[in-house]
Amino acid sequence: MEKLVETLHHYFLYLGLNIFLFCGTISLFAYPSQGLIRDLQHYSDSLKSPDSICISEVRIECRKKTKLRIIQRELSIRKGQKIAKTNLAQYLEKESHKLFNTDLFVVTDVIPVPSGRDSIEVVVSLVEKWYFYPIPILELGARNFNEWASSYHFDPSWIDWGIRFRQQNFRGRNEDVRLHFQNGFTQKLMLLYNIPYINRKQTTGIRFKIMYAGNRNLPYKTDSQGERLVLQSTSKQLRRWEFATRLSKRSHFYNTHFFTLGFRSNHITDTIQELNPDYFLEGKTQQRYFFLKYDFNRNLTDASGYPLKGMLLRLSFEQKGLGFFNDLNKFEVRALYAKFVPLRKKWFWASSFRGLFSFPDRQPYNDQASFGYFQNTLRGYEPYTIDVTRYALSRNTLRYQLCSTRKQLGKFMPLEQFRTMPVALYFKIFGDFGHTESGSMHPNPSPYADRLLWGTGLGLDLVTFYNAVFRLEFSVNREGENRLAFGVKSDF
């Protein structure tokens, strides 16, 4: 009873903090057309009767590699179309957003040009990205920089190094080809080929993936304090193969369905099996299974890399083990809902809710969902690894735009794709809360599992080239611990 009262006390204290933050608050870097959109509003307001505007022509400029049909697939605006005068600015803004979220362009300006008394020509001005990336790999095998520093004391064995090649927009058809050569903490070879459209209506796509990965340094269990992964380093401890094919079905502009069928084969050494018989369960050294997965994605955000307006919904259902082997039989459901709301000038609110449900309760260690990886992290608990079968997490952020600009680097930059540099800086106050369940059969539950967790704090976000986000955050958690954390990618 006392624990219940304590939990409710912490919950309502935290809930009150979030309500205070939200109620106490009564541009966009990503889109180069934002200034134009504001001008559009003035332009449409200045037009007199009739109430609608006719589109006399749609002209696409600055297209070098991308096929015209790929661009037209994202546009709903057509020649001869009539648009209500009051909706013109919002309508063209959405057209710009859709083009930008293809991840093919660094500039997507949608410009109205008067062509008559009650008509306009729409000019779609695009600057394409740099599509070929030979990128050196220098990454951490640890979950984040903070874990590597605090738990592993900058141990170089946790560093991945190598090179990856990516040819985006292959053949000008938005196809994606990736080659991955990696050594270090994880040795990886991967080939991926994604074709977004294979039919005339441009609604169906297909992707092929083959991957091999191996680990000489292998985290084979989580310590009893739930603070770090225990590592075994001798010969190659884990070898993994994966083959997968994914079909995609895109309905209209915002909804996409994915169907994936694949096979995975995992092998560990006898040493790992002796150290943790539950790594594959029942002392097995081999794990093979087919998997079937369905994903649904509905994206209504203004910018996929760092949204300030709109909503995002993702659902995932996966069955691991289809009856051909008895090595794994697991079903899991994942969900994400995020809402982004402009409040007042330069103030923005972001809330995301994500959850995981999986069964049975007893699961092999290598396939347990770990709370603390990537966006499944509650700010304030970055160093901790919590092995769970179910969790719910809410992340809430109030942002203030300190600056947002688009710099032209001039002719001294020989590549046009890098001449326009967007830079935006946001101050933020955040509050997260979540609950985890380790499952009744978990052999070594974390002390942070099966209870309400919360963390709150403030930070800075720097957003620049190609949706790159750099985060600096200071937080305090339920345990009263203060933490300074650095991260990359957006926090939703």
Task: Look at phi and psi of residue 310 and say left if phi exceeds 0, alpha if psi is from -120 to 50, else beta.
Answer: left
Is the bond leading into 50 cis (omega within 30 degrees of zero)?
yes
Q: What is the pLDDT of residue 29?
A: 31
Convert 220-241 to b/e letters by CB count within 10 Å (16 or more is b).
Answer: bbbeeebbbbebbeeeebbbbe
Task: Give residue 337's pLDDT band: very low, low, confident or very high (50, 70, 90).
Answer: very high
Q: Which residues contact 291 (CB under 8 A, 6 or more apart)?
A: 260, 261, 262, 263, 264, 318, 319, 320, 321, 322
Q: What is the mean pLDDT of the chain?
A: 81
Q: Which residues contact 486 (CB under 8 A, 6 or more apart)?
A: 145, 146, 470, 471, 472, 473
φ, ψ of residue 193 in degrees (nearest 5): -135, 120
Q: What is the pLDDT of residue 291?
A: 97
Stated pTM of the model: 0.76
* More confidently predicted of 90 and 26: 90
Q: Each residue of 118-167: pLDDT tens digit?
A: 889 999 988 888 888 787 888 777 666 767 777 777 778 778 888 989 89
Q: Each residue of 391-414: pLDDT tens digit?
A: 999 999 999 999 988 776 666 666
What residues does 205 pair with on adjacent strands?
Answer: 248
Task: Give residue 448's pLDDT band: very low, low, confident or very high (50, 70, 90).
Answer: confident
**For residue 232, is pLDDT > 80?**
no
Q: What is the pLDDT of residue 117?
A: 79
Q: Each residue of 355-371: pLDDT tens digit?
A: 999 988 888 888 877 77
Closest-CA residue to 426 (of 478, 492, 366):
492
Q: What is the pLDDT of residue 469?
A: 86
Q: Which residues contact 430 (CB under 8 A, 6 or more apart)?
A: 379, 395, 396, 397, 398, 456, 457, 458, 459, 473, 475, 491
Task: Give residue 11's pLDDT band: very low, low, confident or very high (50, 70, 90).
Answer: very low
Q: What is the pLDDT of residue 477?
A: 93
φ, ψ of residue 87 in degrees (nearest 5): -100, 0
| Domains in the chain with CATH codes | 34-128 (3.10.20.310)
**For residue 297, is pLDDT > 60?**
yes
User: What is the mean pLDDT of the segment spanning 405-432?
Assistant: 76
Q: What is the pLDDT of residue 286?
A: 93
